[in-house]
C-alpha cells in the first residue's frame, strides 16, 4: 500500500528540497491511530518546515503539515474507531513528527480531537491552527473580563490566518473590531469579515517615548509582537488585556512595565501547540458555534500538495491572505 506525500529531503550540502512522492505505508511513524487525511492547511511553521526547517525539523526526510483532518482508518486506542472524523493541531506534528501533508498520517491518540458536530473536515482545516489559536485568544480575553460594549478590540496582522478568524469571531460576538493591516488592498476583505475600523500598520508599528498614550482599546489580539506590541500596550484601557499569539514583527519587546503597574494591563500568552485536551474541546466547540461559516468559507484559498512549496515560500514573506485549505487527495 502506498500514499502520496510532500517529502522534504536534505542533501549532503545541507540544502533542502520538497516534492510530492509515493511512499510505502511502512514508512509511517509508529502511533496509536492511522488517519486517512482529507485536508491540511498552511501556517507560518509549515513554510519553515517546507523550506530550510527553521530549526523545527529534527530528522530528514520529513513530511511537514502541522494540521490535518480526516477519517480514522485503524486505531489501537478505545477512544477512536474506524470511520471517526478527527482533527489534529499542534503537538509538534509536522515538525518533529510526520504531519498532514500526506494522504495518511499515524499519530498518538492523545493528540486527536473528535471533529465537532456541524463542522466538515474541510471546515476544520479552514480553521486549522490559526483559527484554533484565534479562538483561544478570544476565550482568554473573555476570561479576563472582555465583553461587547467595553470598546473597540484591536486585531493586529488582521489579514493573516489568525487575524482573519479572530476578526470574524469577534464581530460575530458583537464586538467592535479595529483591524490592523499593512496591505491597503485587504481593507474590503477585512470589512467583509466584520471589521468596523481599519488601522494602517504605519500608525502603530513604532514605539514612542511616552510609555502611556490615550486609553483606546478594550482588548487586543496581537500576532505581530515587537515594537507594535510595545506601542499597543501603552494604548490599552485600564484593566484591559492583550492576547499575544505571534511574532511576525519580531520576538523582542521594547516596552516598559508602566502599562502593567499604572493601568493594570494584562499580557496573556497564547500557546496552541501543547494545549491540554479539555481546552481543545472547549475551543473547537466554540468555533463550531461562534465562527460564521459563510465568512470562514470566504477566506479559503484552495490548494493541492503540489502547490505547497510555492505557498510555503509565500507565507514566510507575508503574502498569504486568509486561510489555505490543502486537498491532499486532489
CATH number of the domain encompassing residue 222: 3.40.50.720
Same domain, 247 and 312: no
Residue 281 lies in a domain: no
* Shared domain check, 106 and 170: no
Residues 241 and 155 both lie in one domain: yes
How many structural domains is the chain composed of?
Answer: 2
Determine phi and psi for 210, rounding to 5 degrees.
-80, 125
Residue range of the domain that includes 154: 128-269
Does residue 84 have a pLDDT over 80? yes
pTM: 0.93
Decide if 283 is inside a domain: no
Residues 137 and 109 in one domain: no
Residues 40 and 132 in one domain: no
CB 246 within 8 A of CB 226: no
CA distance 187 to 242: 23
User: Around 30, how many Cα atoms within 13 Å sit in the side-chain half-sphere?
Assistant: 0
| Distance in angstroms (rounded) separating the CA atoms of residues 164 and 193 | 7
The 266-269 sheet, strands edge to edge: 197-200, 177-181, 153-155, 217-222, 236-244, 266-269
pLDDT tens digit string along 182-239?
999 999 999 999 999 999 999 998 877 789 999 999 999 999 999 999 999 999 999 9
d(CA 9, CA 253): 35
What's 30's domain CATH number? Answer: 3.90.180.10
Report yes or no on 275 lying in a domain. Answer: no
pLDDT tens profile 8-46: 999 999 899 999 999 999 999 999 999 999 999 999 999
Any domain includes 75: yes
Task: Write down which residue in 269, 287, 309 finishes a domain.
Answer: 269
Amino acid at each position: 500500500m502506498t500514499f502520496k506525500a510532500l517529502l522534504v529531503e536534505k542533501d549532503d550540502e545541507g540544502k533542502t528540497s520538497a516534492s510530492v512522492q509515493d511512499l510505502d505505508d511502512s514508512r509511517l511513524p509508529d502511533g496509536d491511530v492511522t488517519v486517512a487525511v482529507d485536508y491540511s492547511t498552511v501556517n507560518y511553521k509549515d513554510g519553515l518546515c517546507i523550506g530550510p526547517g527553521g530549526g523545527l525539523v529534527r530528522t530528514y526526510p520529513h513530511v511537514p503539515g502541522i494540521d490535518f483532518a480526516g477519517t480514522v482508518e485503524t486505531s489501537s486506542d478505545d477512544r477512536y474507531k474506524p470511520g471517526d472524523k478527527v482533527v489534529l493541531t499542534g503537538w509538534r506534528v509536522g515538525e518533529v513528527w510526520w504531519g498532514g501533508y500526506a494522504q495518511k498520517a499515524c499519530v498518538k491518540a492523545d493528540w486527536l480531537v473528535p471533529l465537532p458536530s456541524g463542522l466538515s473536515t474541510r471546515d476544520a482545516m479552514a480553521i486549522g491552527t490559526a483559527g484554533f489559536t484565534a479562538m483561544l485568544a478570544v476565550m482568554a480575553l473573555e476570561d479576563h473580563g472582555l465583553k461587547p460594549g467595553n470598546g473597540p478590540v484591536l486585531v493586529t496582522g488582521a489579514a493573516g490566518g489568525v487575524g482573519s478568524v479572530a476578526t470574524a469571531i469577534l464581530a460575530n460576538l458583537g464586538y467592535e473590531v479595529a483591524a490592523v493591516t499593512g496591505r491597503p488592498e485587504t481593507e474590503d476583505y477585512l470589512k467583509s469579515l466584520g471589521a468596523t475600523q481599519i488601522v494602517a500598520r504605519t500608525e502603530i508599528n513604532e514605539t514612542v517615548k511616552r510609555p502611556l498614550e490615550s486609553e483606546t482599546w478594550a482588548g487586543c489580539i496581537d500576532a505581530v509582537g515587537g515594537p507594535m506590541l510595545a506601542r499597543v500596550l501603552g494604548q490599552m484601557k485600564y484593566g484591559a488585556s492583550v492576547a499575544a499569539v505571534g511574532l511576525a514583527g519580531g520576538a523582542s519587546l521594547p516596552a516598559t512595565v508602566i502599562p502593567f503597574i499604572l493601568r493594570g494591563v494584562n499580557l496573556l500568552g497564547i500557546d496552541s501547540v501543547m494545549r491540554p485536551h479539555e481546552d481543545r474541546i472547549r475551543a473547537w466547540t466554540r468555533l463550531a458555534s461562534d465562527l460564521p461559516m459563510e465568512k470562514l468559507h470566504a477566506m479559503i484559498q484552495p490548494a493541492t500538495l503540489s502547490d505547497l512549496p510555492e505557498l510555503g515560500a509565500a507565507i514566510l514573506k507575508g503574502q498569504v491572505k486568509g486561510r489555505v485549505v490543502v486537498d491532499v487527495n486532489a
